Amino acid sequence: MTDVLVVGAGPSGAVAAAVLARAGVDVLLVDRAEFPRDKLCGDTVNPGALALLRRLDLARAIDAGGLRIDGMRVTGGRGVAIDARYPDGLYGRSLARRDLDQALLERAIDAGARFEPRVHVTSAIVERGVVSGVVAGEGGARQLRARVTIAADGRRSSLAFGLGLARHAERPRRWAIGAYYEGVGGLSSLGEMHIRPGRYIGVAPLPGGLANVCLVVPSGPGDPRLADPAALVAREIARDRLLGGRFTTARAVRAPAVLGPLAVDAVPRAIDGLLVIGDAAGFIDPMTGDGLRFAVRGGELAADAARAALERGWSGVHVALAARRRREFAGKWRFNRVLRALVASPGAVDAAAAGARLAPGLVAAIVSTAGDCALARSCRS
């Protein structure tokens, strides 16, 4: 029996595995995919998430190969643009998600975690109300038993959904289409968010002259637009007066990826033997770019909780973890909800731009909060 089984080798799972393995815990990390693998993402690590990774000594490859991101450019549909840089010399990094995930996985393996790819976990083993491992493979061909199981298997988590610990949110119902382009004009050291009625388009410069383009639209299963995602992204770019001219000589370098529905809500219930982290514990709209910050810190908190369960049993573990997550994330969750509501309102960005001319510090404060700059400063001290 393994001490800790981590299901899912994305950022949250890899961070949890690395922290535990460094502490001398026997860790088995599994994933259904073979790494490196592609994953739809905005491909940016904000200053706060980058500072956390540095504190955990997990950022070497990101610092070496990532592109510096100094802030954000936000535009509205009427041509209004707001540029805001992160304060105090802080910056983030952009790096293709396949490279980021591979780097974090390698650090977990270097720390002593065992890794098995191509392990398709289908369900949890529950005995007398306690999770004691998982079933993997077709027809439950394999059982993997552990004293602690960590579900880090993403927004379609077979463990969280199978145990009734997650559900798809009724609202918002958004789908994302992610594509990579070369030859995009006007790229800078700023990430970009182009907010339009009923949709938004994120653009991030990447190493090697590439650009990540992520279109997010309200949609649902069976939406005919999603049948040809490449054409949908191309149409949205071509009809946008701020973006169209920048893509006249650009070329998509691979078929786009589609992800949806985006929002996943966590159910406030706990089961001994199991910890749920990352997107499996609640997937947020990617607009504010907080997924990696939540994944990294959530993985670290889960590692602490797993060690407590191994040493003292499960009494109080879930309560303590929930309290720590609230202290860490509740303020940012509220900020994200408010910001999403504002950008969903027609004209809100243009109104914000008008206000920014009178109070430019307001926009700077919003970008600083979105980038978790206070967290980055605290990690420096």
Each residue's pLDDT tens digit, 315-366:
999 999 999 999 998 888 888 777 766 666 656 666 665 665 556 667 778 8
Does residue 332 sit in helix, strand or coil? helix
Report the pLDDT value the prediction gives residue 174, as an integer from 0 to 100. Answer: 79
CA distance 46 to 327: 20
Read off the amino acid at residue 35: F
Label each residue of 224-276 as H, E or C.
HHHHCHHHHHHHHHHCCCCCHHHHCCCEECCCCEEECCCCEEECCCCCCCEEE
Q: Which helix (H) or strand (E) holds 376?
A: helix 373-380
CATH (domain of 188): 3.30.70.2450
CA distance 179 to 121: 29
CATH (domain of 6): 3.50.50.60
Nearest to 325 by CA among 282, 288, 378: 282
Cα–Cα distance list, 249 to 173, 182, 279 (Å):
33, 9, 36
| Domain boundary, last residue among 259, 294, 315 | 259
Domain range for residue 227? Answer: 174-259
pLDDT by residue for the chain (381 residues), tens digit each? 999 999 999 999 999 999 999 999 999 999 999 999 999 888 999 999 999 999 999 999 999 999 999 999 988 767 778 888 999 999 999 999 999 999 999 999 999 999 999 999 999 999 999 999 999 987 778 999 999 999 999 888 999 999 999 887 666 677 889 999 999 999 999 999 888 877 889 999 999 999 999 998 887 667 788 889 999 999 999 999 999 999 999 999 999 998 877 777 778 889 999 999 988 887 666 555 668 889 999 999 999 999 999 999 999 999 999 999 999 988 888 887 777 666 666 566 666 656 655 566 677 788 888 889 999 999 876
User: With DSSP H G I counted as helix, E B as strand and the rest as coil, what are the percentages for the chain, rounded to 5?
Assistant: 40, 25, 35
- Residue 212 and residue 94 in contact, taking contact as beta carbons nearer than 8 Å: yes
Identify whether residues 6 and 146 lie together within a single domain.
Answer: yes
Query: In whole numbers, what is the pLDDT of the chain averaged over residues?
Result: 89
Identify whether residues 268 and 149 lie together within a single domain.
Answer: yes
Identify whether residues 21 and 103 lie together within a single domain.
Answer: yes
Report the pLDDT value the prediction gives residue 334, as an integer from 0 to 100. Answer: 82
- Residue 216 and residue 196 in contact, taking contact as beta carbons nearer than 8 Å: no
| Domain boundary, last residue among 211, 243, 259 | 259
| Domain boundary, last residue among 202, 224, 259 | 259
Q: Does residue 28 sit within a domain? A: yes
CA distance 213 to 223: 20
Identify whether residues 299 and 155 lie together within a single domain.
Answer: yes
Q: Does residue 118 sit within a domain? A: yes
Identify whether residues 152 and 226 lie together within a single domain.
Answer: no
The distance from CA 170 to its chain's CA centroid, rounded to whole angstroms, is 20
pLDDT in tens, 118-144: 999 999 999 999 999 999 987 778 999
Identify whether residues 126 and 234 lie together within a single domain.
Answer: no
Identify whether residues 30 and 108 lie together within a single domain.
Answer: yes
Q: Does residue 364 sit within a domain? A: no
Identify whether residues 196 and 254 lie together within a single domain.
Answer: yes
Identify whether residues 155 and 186 lie together within a single domain.
Answer: no
Number of domain units in the chain: 2
Q: Does residue 137 sit within a domain? A: yes
Identify whether residues 109 and 37 lie together within a single domain.
Answer: yes
